[in-house]
Structures are given as C-alpha cells and as structure tokens.
Structure 1
Amino acid sequence: MIFAVFGTVERRSGLGRIFPLVSSRSNPDCWLMDKISKRTFLKGAPVLGITAGGPILAGAATHSENPLSKQETLLDPHYYSESGWQFGSQAIHHGEQEGYQVTPISQDKCAPGYQRPGNLKNPTVAALLRKVMELEGTQAAVGGPCGMGIIAQTYMALLRPGDRVVAHRCNYDWVMTLLREYLPSWGIEVQFLDFNQPERLEESLRKRSAKLVHWEPYVNPSMEVLDTQRLVEIAKAFGALSLVDNTWLTPYLLQPAALGADLVMHSVTKYMGGHGNAMGGVVSGRRDLISTIDRSQNWLGGLLRPMDAFMVTQGVKTLPLRMTQHSKTAQVVAEYLADHPAVKRVRYGGLPSWNALGQQASPRGFGGMLGIEWKQDRVHQSLGNHVRLILNATSLGDPCSRIMARQEETDRGIPARYTRVSIGLEEADDLMADFKQAIEKC
C-alpha cells in the first residue's frame, strides 16, 4: 500500500509547498509530477512517512505507478543474516545477554575474566562486540578505549620492524600522524598513494610487497569516494592485508568484510554510538588476526569500558534510522549549498558532480559528512563566528551538526578555503537557514 496524495491532503498539510501536485480526484492517474528534484523529494519524505524500508500507509488508496512505492533502503545489499532477520532487527536484538532486552552495565572488576583482553567475558562489552560482528559479517571483534586507540593497537600487534604499509594519501588526522611519524621511527616503511587511481596501488605492490593496505572508503576530511571493492581485490592479489576504516559509513551503508576486507575498524564514538556521549573503538575481522590484537592488549592495555560499551550499544539499535536521516538531510543541504553563489564546490558522495564512481561502486547513501570549497577567504575564515544552530566544533556523527574550517594540504587532497561539515539530525530547512544567515554575515 502506498501514500495517495489528494488535493484535500495538500490543503490540510501544506504539501503544495513541497511537491508540485495535481488533483487526483479529477484524474486518478495523475500523481506527483515526473520531474521532482532529489532535494525536493527528500524534504518531503519525512512528511509523507517514508522510511528506509519504504512508504507507510497514510491514505486509503493504492497505485502501482506511484514513484514513492519504489523508494529503496540505503542498506548495503551485501548484508546477510543467518537468522533471516533484517538489519534493523538484528541491531536491536542480537548480542544481548540472555534474558535481557537491555544488557545491564557490569562493572564488577573481580568477575572471572573481566580484565581479560577484549572484555568478551564482560556481558556489557560482549553485547556491543557481538552486534558489530553480526552487522559487519565478521568472525571476531575486539574493543578499545577509542577509535585511535584500537587503530594503534592493531598496528602495534600486527607489524614488526621491516614491514611495509601502503595507505591512501588522506586519512583521519591522527592516523596520518601515526603513519607519518611513529611507524617509521619503529622501522616500518609507509608509502602514501592516491587510491583514487587503484592502478597505482597495484603498481606499488607489484614492485614490492606490503603487509598492510589502509584506507577509508569515504575519506576524512577530503570526502573522496574510493572503490573499496577494487582496492580489496588488489590487496588480496598481492598478499597484503586490507584494513578498512568504516567509521563514516558504518555497516548499514557499507560492509567491507563482504567485499573481502580482512579487518574493519570503527571509532564507535561517532555514528555507531551516534549520540556524542561515549567513546570507544572496535576492530573486527578474521579470527586469527583479531586473536593477535586481543592478546596484545595484555601488554598494551587500553580496554573498552563497560559504561561506554553500554551507551554505544543503545545507539547501535537506532543505527539504520539515524544513518538514513543523516544521508537524506546531508543530500538536501549539499544540493542547496552547491547552488549557493558563495560556494565554489560541494564535496558529497551523493552528488554526481563530485562522486566520479556514481552508482558503479558506491554505497547507496553517504551519511552526514560533506565538504565545502568557498570562493572567498572571508567566508571560510569567519563562518564559524556566525552560525547559530550549527556548532563550530570538531567531532562528528551525532545529532548536532558541526563545521570545522580546514587548512589547505595539497598532498592530502585538501583544497584551499575548505570547511568540513558534519550534518546531524536537525531539520534540513533549519540547517539551510543557518548557513544562509551565517554566509550573509561574513
């Protein structure tokens, strides 16, 4: 069943301001106009009651030609569950302590195995790790105190002096510091390449083997969209392990393990937790690799704590809803900003003008992260002083929208006059209005 848009509904709800409607009473075959922009459609979707799984009944008519009935989920089509339940149901129910709807917070330091690496014997932490394993489709998982913590533990556990790492030219800032400064000081070679050209990785690995290949499918902060499937294939062909940081897309939008990735990392502080109230990091993947990382925590320390695990677990239960809304709102805002005279270019995976991969090798949605290249320095430098609803602050992936002015780094693909934007869960109209008034004051 689908939503029927009648003239009477238009008058009651004001939908005429969102969609160009025609009266279906006079002509039952007339529905929404054929040419509706993505921005206009997505703005109206919450009003019409459209969800990630399709439209819900809000009227008393059906019509096979209604374009709203074809609305697709943003879920990665590679998702598979042995239980047969859908992603959202698994996110809610999987991994909880037997007999509990919500696994309690277990802080007992004397419980058998509590202080063992990985905390799998702590029911609170285990609930989160089991959810991540299920949603990412991996064999095992281990948690750390934050995203950067688990990445550093992974590298220290798996690498030895003389090993070689090949990484994309741009990653999260502190990962870049680890790769640029610390790994070389430990006798580990690191090479940075532009993975927008996968053939460059292939050429590098053909000349000399590497232990690990590291990248983010949707790159922080440059917003480059990389062909993860192709990169995994190249790494495997030359015997290298693939480490994919899936923090920005989450397993709802992309499941790297289903494409063959060996390890998948998350700062669960961000979208997985989704509320900005907890910190943690999780790496999941092949059992043998996770076992090595797990054992290293005996001497590295840095475990995922039960309170943080509890908070993140509650956030995971709404992951599909949040990622759908982040994606929809970001698409609307990105299209609005792309048309603004103060903007040189908007970088967002959902914009064909930016994402060269199009639909060939991309997720169906890109979450809430986008970048803005400004035409003038004054807007770039002073925008943060004038936003009212949007926060001028770091971090990302929770209900609050944020902006962060970046400095030009040509070697990382970060342009001049560039602002990173994290779109939260506020209404798109309010965010666009805030951008409008802030730009006017610059």
Structure 2
Amino acid sequence: MSESESGKDERRPLTKLAQAGRKPEWTGMPGQPGAIVSPPVWRASTILYDDVAHLRRAAGSSTHERLFYGRKGTPTAWSLADALTEMEPGAEGTMLFPSGVAAIACALMAVLKPGDTLLMVDSAYDPTRNFCEHILRPYGIETIYYDPRDTVHLAVHLSDEKVRAIFLESPGSLTFEVQDVPAITAMARDRGVVTLLDNTWATPLFFPALSHGVDISILACTKYIVGHSDVMMGSVTATPDWFGKLRQTAYLFGQMVSPDDAWLAARGLRTLGVRLKQHQDSALAIAHWLKDRPEVARVLHPALPDCPGHDLWRRDFSGSTGLFSFVLNGGDDAARAALIDGLAHFGIGYSWGGFESLALPIDPARYRSATNWEAEGPAIRLHIGLEDTDDLIADLDAGLARFAQVRG
C-alpha cells in the first residue's frame, strides 16, 4: 500500500534523510523539465509582488512556506525545516534559529508567561540554566530544578498549579543521566503541562522525541545535523498543538537563519546516518577501553551496561552517539590538564558533533542546584570524531600515562 493510499509514511529513517525536504516546487523551475537534486541557495530580503492584491494575499497567508519577506525565509530554509519535521513522526512543523541557545530560548518563551513555573532538569546545558536565571526570573517566571532520575519527586512538583512546562535533556550533556521520558511526558499530559526536550545528543534518528510523548523537541543543529563544525544553528520541532505559537513567537523575535547556513545544514543532514554510526562505533570502542583502565574510575556512557540509566537507554533509544564523559581515579586539575594538553588527535574546545575529536575538562558540581555531583577525581568529556579509533586510543593511552605521572 502506498503512502497516499494508507495516509501513513512507511519510509525508514535513512530513506527520509535522503529524500526529505526535496519538494518539486523547490528543486525544479515552472515550465522547465527535470529537477536538481537539492534546493539551491535562495537569498532574499525584499520580495516583489505583481500588484497590491497579490501583496495582500501574501500577507494574509496562514503558511510560513510562502515568499513574503526575507525574514520569513526562502525555500532553502523551508527545505531544511521540512526535512527535520519529517524526521519526527507526529510533528506539525519546525522553526530554525541562529543557534541552539536561541532555539531553547524561543521555545521557552513560546510556552511560558509571567507567573508561570518551569521545571528544569538539574543536568541541563549551562546556557539553558543561564537563560532561566537571567531572563526568565526577572521576567517573573520561576524555575525549579529537579533530579533527572527522580520521577517520583517530579510528580510532587507537578501538583503545583503554576507549573506550566517541564524541560528535559536526556541524556544530560555533561554527566549523561537518562530520563524516563515516556513516564514524564505521560504525567505532564495528564496535568496539561507542556514538555520540551533538548534532543541534541541522540537526534531524531536515535530518539524520535514526539513519538515518546514530547510536545516540543529542540536540537542544537550546530552539532550532529551540520556535522562539520562550520555553522551555528538550532531547530525546534513541535506538535500541532504548539507549532502555531512557536512560529508566532519566532516571528515576533525576528529569529531566522541565513540561506547559506541552511543549505550547509541540509547538506550535513543527508549524511547524518552514516556519520552517527561511525561516531557510535568509535565512541563505544573507546568507552570500553577506558572502562578497563586503572587511571579511570568511571565511564559515563548510557550504552554501557553498568552506567546508571542504561536500562532506559536500551528501552527507548535505537543508538548512541559520540559524546560521553569519564571520571579520573584521583588526581587534581593539574593532572587532568597534563592529560588533555598533550593530546595530538583531540582538540580542546567547546561544542561537539563535528568530524573532529574533542576533549574538555568538566566540573559538573558548578552547574547543580537540586542534586550533588561527587566524583572520585576530575572529569573529562570526550567527543569521538571520525578519526581512526586506534589512533585515538593510542593518544589517550599516552595521556593517561601523563596523568598518572603528575598524579603520583
């Protein structure tokens, strides 16, 4: 049975990655035979109309996929947004933003108003916490932080009628706690509370968020969607109940992305499947290797059977990606720096999701208010890129030797 006959899209995710966002009206020219493979870069600020009636029809259009003014986009951005929407079964649409933080901020502003309370996971990305404290709080919106693993206590918070939204990040991008997303979204739905998830780590390929009950799924497309460390971008994909409000809020804030950046992100999206498989396989090989090293106290990778939250990961996720952390066995910041500073194949820098491997010293205790972070030693976050795994292991092996020497 075809899609048109069944009303259901039965294509598998990798097929969608190759085909999504390639509508004929964006890849062909009216009256011309044939079509190009991908929508080109449409750059525009002013849009010209045939007459006043045409202008007024465009202004009154209910769709955002129609030329109106450059700030509302061109087919280059619409193609990428459409492709991301297709990756999330149950989604109404996707809006694009100039960074992941901009996407998070606009999504929160779309669902909250003064007097509301937001429940924020305690393991959230630090800029998310900063937005809550420095923008939402002065605006009259209270943020209560909750333990990512304590669903029972979260239910107590939900009894407060002021709670309007729950923000999740699963797994957390420093310490990788996996949340029980289906249970949390079910509780929220029963109480009329909207759920937002930062799904950057897994992407919709490994965790289709809306299929697990989430209302609004957020990606820092800078990471795995772009995949090449050369574009800043964020996206927010929403259910029919929330997409209209999200779109209106984005327009009112003047949020948009450049067509050149949208084109690069769409190009990266096409190879997401093969890249994530390599990131996954290499990261797992290195995580298992680190786990057996005496210099390492713990490896924080949800796909490892002894990692807290592994059962939830195995139940809900179809894969893992290249980002994880490990805790050193004793030592101090100087010993950790000795490990990182001498690495030949790992860059030292923020972000992740690109083709290059990265090592970053992390101190999670600084970013906690509802939970305590206690560890056997300092911690390091790794992003495993597309280099040869044996080269990366040899690099880390030498780094651990430097650590042990400084640690004494």
**How many angstroms apart in 2 are the aligned matches of 1:147 and 1:327?**
22
1:340 deviates by 0.8
Match of residue 319, structure 2, among 351, 365, 382? 365
**How many angstroms apart in 2 are the aligned matches of 1:132 and 1:413?**
36
Query: Within 5 Å, which residues of 2 pair with 1:18-37?
Result: none
Q: Please give the root-mean-square deviation of Cα atoms over the aligned residues, in Å.
A: 1.9
1:233 deviates by 1.1
**How many angstroms apart in 2 are the aligned matches of 1:155 and 1:280?**
17
**How many angstroms apart in 2 are the aligned matches of 1:270 and 1:311?**
13
**How many angstroms apart in 2 are the aligned matches of 1:244 and 1:233?**
14
* DSSP 3-state at the match of 2:46: coil
Match of residue 213, structure 2, among 246, 257, 260? 260
Query: Within 5 Å, which residues of 2 pair with 1:198-347?
Result: 198-347=151-300
1:288 deviates by 4.1
* DSSP 3-state at the match of 1:170: coil
**Partner letter of residue 230 of structure 1?**
A
CA contact (8 A) 1:201 1:234 kept: no
Change (3 A) 1:322 1:182: same
**How many angstroms apart in 1 are the aligned matches of 2:323 and 2:314?**
20
1:441 deviates by 2.3
Match of residue 102, structure 1, among 13, 22, 38? 38
* DSSP 3-state at the match of 1:200: helix
**How many angstroms apart in 1 are the aligned matches of 2:120 and 2:340?**
32
* Greater alpha carbon shift after TM alignment, 138-147 vs 373-382: 373-382
Matched with 1:128 is 80
**How many angstroms apart in 2 are the aligned matches of 1:175 and 1:282?**
15
Match of residue 107, structure 2, among 142, 147, 154? 154
**How many angstroms apart in 2 are the aligned matches of 1:269 and 1:386?**
27
**How many angstroms apart in 1 are the aligned matches of 2:41 and 2:322?**
30
Aligned residues: 360
For structure 2, which runs of at least 5 residues remain unmatched after alignment? 1-5, 28-34, 48-66, 404-408
1:413 deviates by 5.2
TM, length-normalised to structure 2? 0.84
Change (3 A) 1:200 1:361: farther
* DSSP 3-state at the match of 1:108: coil
**How many angstroms apart in 1 are the aligned matches of 2:253 and 2:122?**
28
Matched with 2:350 is 394
CA contact (8 A) 1:245 1:266 kept: yes
1:356 deviates by 3.3
Matched with 1:82 is 8
Matched with 1:19 is none
**How many angstroms apart in 2 are the aligned matches of 1:187 and 1:197?**
26
Matched with 2:406 is none
CA contact (8 A) 2:177 2:309 kept: no
**Partner letter of residue 115 of structure 1?**
G
**How many angstroms apart in 2 are the aligned matches of 1:101 and 1:189?**
48
CA contact (8 A) 1:373 1:415 kept: no
For structure 1, which runs of at least 5 residues remain unmatched after alignment? 1-79
CA contact (8 A) 1:245 1:264 kept: yes
Mapped pair 1:421 → 2:377: no
CA contact (8 A) 2:231 2:261 kept: yes
1:408 deviates by 4.4
* DSSP 3-state at the match of 2:278: helix
Change (3 A) 1:299 1:168: same
* DSSP 3-state at the match of 1:404: strand
CA contact (8 A) 1:146 1:269 kept: yes
Mapped pair 1:183 → 2:109: no
Matched with 2:55 is none
* CA distances 1:132-153 after superposition (whole Å, capped 9, x unpaired): 0000121111111111011111
**How many angstroms apart in 2 are the aligned matches of 1:135 and 1:184?**
34
**How many angstroms apart in 2 are the aligned matches of 1:81 and 1:281?**
30
1:207 deviates by 4.0
* CA distances 1:118-175 after superposition (whole Å, capped 9, x unpaired): x2xx110011001100001211111111110111112223221101100111111100
**How many angstroms apart in 2 are the aligned matches of 1:207 and 1:393?**
40
Query: Within 5 Å, which residues of 2 pair with 1:159-174?
Result: 159-174=112-127
**How many angstroms apart in 2 are the aligned matches of 1:87 and 1:441?**
43
Mapped pair 1:384 → 2:337: no
**How many angstroms apart in 2 are the aligned matches of 1:344 and 1:373?**
6
* DSSP 3-state at the match of 1:136: coil
Query: Within 5 Å, which residues of 2 pair with 1:47-66?
Result: none
* DSSP 3-state at the match of 1:206: coil
**Partner letter of residue 90 of structure 1?**
K
Mapped pair 1:351 → 2:299: no
* CA distances 1:57-107 after superposition (whole Å, capped 9, x unpaired): xxxxxxxxxxxxxxxxxxxxxxx9934322112111111223331110111
1:361 deviates by 3.1
CA contact (8 A) 2:179 2:309 kept: no
**How many angstroms apart in 2 are the aligned matches of 1:373 and 1:381?**
13
Mapped pair 1:434 → 2:389: no
* DSSP 3-state at the match of 2:86: helix
Change (3 A) 1:367 1:81: farther
**How many angstroms apart in 1 are the aligned matches of 2:172 and 2:360?**
15
Change (3 A) 1:289 1:83: closer
CA contact (8 A) 2:148 2:178 kept: no
**How many angstroms apart in 1 are the aligned matches of 2:11 and 2:364?**
46
1:229 deviates by 1.2
Change (3 A) 1:161 1:91: same
**How many angstroms apart in 1 are the aligned matches of 2:364 and 2:236?**
31
**How many angstroms apart in 1 are the aligned matches of 2:241 and 2:303?**
36
* DSSP 3-state at the match of 2:227: coil
**How many angstroms apart in 2 are the aligned matches of 1:255 and 1:261?**
9
**Partner letter of residue 388 of structure 1?**
A
**How many angstroms apart in 1 are the aligned matches of 2:204 and 2:271?**
13
Change (3 A) 1:83 1:156: closer
